Structure 1
Amino acid sequence: MPTQASSEPEQASPWWVYLVQCRDGTFYTGITTDLQRRLRQHNGELVGGARYTRPRRPVTLVYQEACRDRSHAGQREAIVRKLSRLRKQALATQNRSE
């Protein structure tokens, strides 16, 4: 019996907005399709990572949010970046309690 092709497009990798806390207590916000790879890059285990996080290692993932596509992730990243330090701490605390 032949299989029928799906009429729905294949799901692309989900995009994530993430917040890491650096050793010095500062926060870094970014987007990615692979959280574990990106965290390893920020911590120097893989090539890559942001210039900002290199002297502030190790970093710890404290918040992540799934987004439907890259555009939405970029928009959400801009919003999170503009949050005050206290609001970012609240996101991190909320994420730990879930």
Structure 2
Amino acid sequence: MKQSYVYIIKCSDGSYYTGVSSNLSSRLYKHNFGFYPDCYTFNKRPLELVFYCEFTDINIAIEKEKQIKKWSKIKKEALINGEFESLINLAKKRFHK
């Protein structure tokens, strides 16, 4: 089975970019060398890979990428730092006034 990867890149401005790819090294190379001028990361280089995980099913990888993209910066940093027990408590909560 072909591997797929969900990855998080830290941008030079401190923001994070989350993506999915079946060839992680090629995708990182393209991000770092500005292969995609319309990409979020183009003007935020240099970039640093701070997290990735492997999947054997691309559909699950895409689902997880979409999920992580909705997370707050704090929750993404907990994932990056391996603080898995904190993730549930960092869910976005909406409070009505």
Normalising by the smaller structure, the TM-score range is 0.7 to 0.9
Q: TM-score, normalised by structure 1?
A: 0.76
1:31 paired with 2:15, answer no
Give the counterpart letter for 2:16 in structure 1: F
1:70–1:49 Cα change, 3 Å: farther
List runs of 5+ in structure 1 lacking aligned partners.
1-10
What is the identity percentage for the equivalent residue pairs of Structure 1 and Structure 2?
Answer: 33
Give the counterpart letter for 2:29 in structure 1: R
In 1, the alpha carbon distance for the partners of 2:67 and 2:17 equals 13
Question: Paired residues, what number?
Answer: 83
In 1, the alpha carbon distance for the partners of 2:55 and 2:41 equals 23
1:61 paired with 2:49, answer yes
CA RMSD of aligned residues (A): 1.8
Match of 1:8 in 2: none
Match of 2:30 in 1: 41
In 2, the alpha carbon distance for the partners of 1:41 and 1:25 equals 19
Q: TM-score, normalised by structure 2?
A: 0.77
Q: CA deviation at 1:48?
A: 3.7
Q: Is the 8 A contact 1:41 1:49 kept in 2?
A: no
- Return the index of the structure with the highest Cα Rg: 1
In 2, the alpha carbon distance for the partners of 1:66 and 1:32 equals 10
Q: CA deviation at 1:49?
A: 7.2
In 1, the alpha carbon distance for the partners of 2:65 and 2:32 equals 20
